[in-house]
Amino acid sequence: MDIFEKTKGEHNYTVAKEKGIYPYFHELTSGQDTQVVMEGIDTIMIGSNNYLGLTSNPRVINAGIEALKKYGSGNSGSRFLNGTLDLHKTLERELAKFLHKEAVMTFSTGFQSNLGIISAIAGMHDVILCDRENHASIYDACRLSYGEMIRYKHSDMKDLEEKLKKVPADKGILIVTDGVFSMSGEICKLPEIVKLAKKYGARVMVDDAHSLGVLGEHGRGTAEYFGLEDDVDIYMGTFSKSLASLGGYMASTKEVVDYVMHTSRPYIFSASMTPASAACALESLRILEENPQRVKDLFNISEYMRNGLKKLGVKIIDAPTPIIPIYVYQDEKAYMACKLLLERGVYVNPVVSPATPVGMALLRTSYTATHTKAQMDKAMKAIKEVLDILGVK
């Protein structure tokens, strides 16, 4: 049988293309900001993860330019060998200090961070307890590791404890959860997870990709939000969201970070973050430290949008984060809604099966600290209009 046979025939994406409602790979001809030019349309962007609005910040852009001038365009090697810059070390030191952890190591992407951390930490005598709605990178990381992955029902602490009870005493246990779940915007039940981890001798890893710069008084993430910074063993996060760059990190004790640096295959055998990426992440971090008001601005504009949608009778998943998913139920309606909204100058993301259960398709909207109320009012009006056209209640 030809291995390419699966590429032929009818797929969801081919059907969407034929119907003219294909929602992916739209071209931007402007920078990422609250207002972008997409497919030639002046568009309000409520579908990015640019939470603090720093992708267009002059300080961040200039930091990237200066790094390009000083270090060149790339490092031509891994951190393990010739690819470590003083810039990487500075970023890691400052991020560790900000997160109140002993040490930080950086990866080339956020996806690679989870692959590199979990595959190194979880060995053949270990068990990984994984929330069913964790990010895809966590699932792939569990598969890459030699550990046994056991999934527990989403945010179901009773189910998590039942799974923990069955783990043999001679097994190491790592509980891994998203801090903010990327599709729903819900916050994990970290206090209960920490309590169970202590009861059963487990370690806790939190994926703070959508939490850094979003949760906590200073934007340090999920653990700060709950006052549990001393109780989370590993933080993972990304630079592609609040820190307006590309890459990822792990924060933990010096001992754990040192071990992962010397055993993680995705880390050892990948080129290091480009100089410009590292410099932009570092400058974004410094801006966040200097101006934690951005975290409050992000919360306030998200609340404004959340309350406005509710008043219009739009059914949403309600959580105190900048991710607001809107139910449209059917996959085809999600595609059509994206098309109609883009025509009205509003960009959102479709979330369809298998990313959601069949019949529970969503529009994932997300917000930025620098969005204006005028932009939100226009977006709300367009969303309500499109949902009415599609008969979504």
Catalytic residue among 101, 163, 210, 333, which? 210
Span 203-227, average pLDDT: 98
Which pTM value belongs to this model? 0.96
What is the Cα 276 distance to its own chain's centre? 21
Q: Which helix (H) or strand (E) holds 64?
A: helix 58-71
Q: 79-129 pLDDT, tens per residue?
A: 999 999 999 999 999 999 999 999 999 999 999 999 999 999 999 999 999
pLDDT over 90 (residue 315): yes
Tell me the average pLDDT across 191-205. 98
Residue 352: what are its φ and ψ, rounded to 5°? -125, 175
Q: CA geometry: angle at 256 spanning 245 and 139, to 5°? A: 60
CATH number among 3.40.50.2300, 3.20.20.140, 3.90.1150.10, 3.20.20.60, domain 3-51+292-390: 3.90.1150.10
Q: What is the pLDDT of residues 43-93, one digit of tens each?
A: 999 999 999 999 999 999 999 999 999 999 999 999 999 999 999 999 999
Q: What is the CATH number of domain 58-290?
A: 3.40.640.10
Q: Please give the structure tokens belonging to residue 277.
A: 């990426």
**Is beta strand 41-45 parallel, antiparallel or unpaired with respect to 35-38?**
antiparallel
Q: How far is CA 316 from the centre of its chain?
A: 20
Q: Does residue 393 register a pLDDT over 90?
A: no
| Catalytic residue (choose from 101, 135, 163, 241) | 241
* Residue 163 known to be catalytic: no
Nearest to 142 by CA among 133, 151, 153: 151
Domain definitions of the chain by residue range = 3-51+292-390, 58-290
Q: What is the pLDDT of residues 241-286, one digit of tens each?
A: 999 999 999 999 999 999 999 999 999 999 999 999 999 999 999 9
Is the link from the previous residue into 354 a cis peptide, with omega within 30 of 0? yes
182 part of the active site: yes
pLDDT digits (tens, 9 = 90+) for 328-370: 999 999 999 999 999 999 999 999 988 888 899 999 999 999 9
> For residue 330, what are the CA distances in angstroms to 21, 158, 337, 358, 359?
13, 31, 10, 8, 5
Do residues 323 and 366 make contact, with C-beta atoms less than 8 angstroms apart? yes
Quote the pLDDT of residue 353: 86
Residue 23's pLDDT is 95
Determine which one of 48, 182, 242, 277 is catalytic.
182
- Cα atoms found within 13 Å of the Cα of residue 104, Cβ hemisphere only: 23
Helix, strand and coil in the chain, % to nearest 5: 40, 20, 40
Each residue's pLDDT tens digit, 136-173: 999 999 999 999 999 999 999 999 999 999 999 999 99
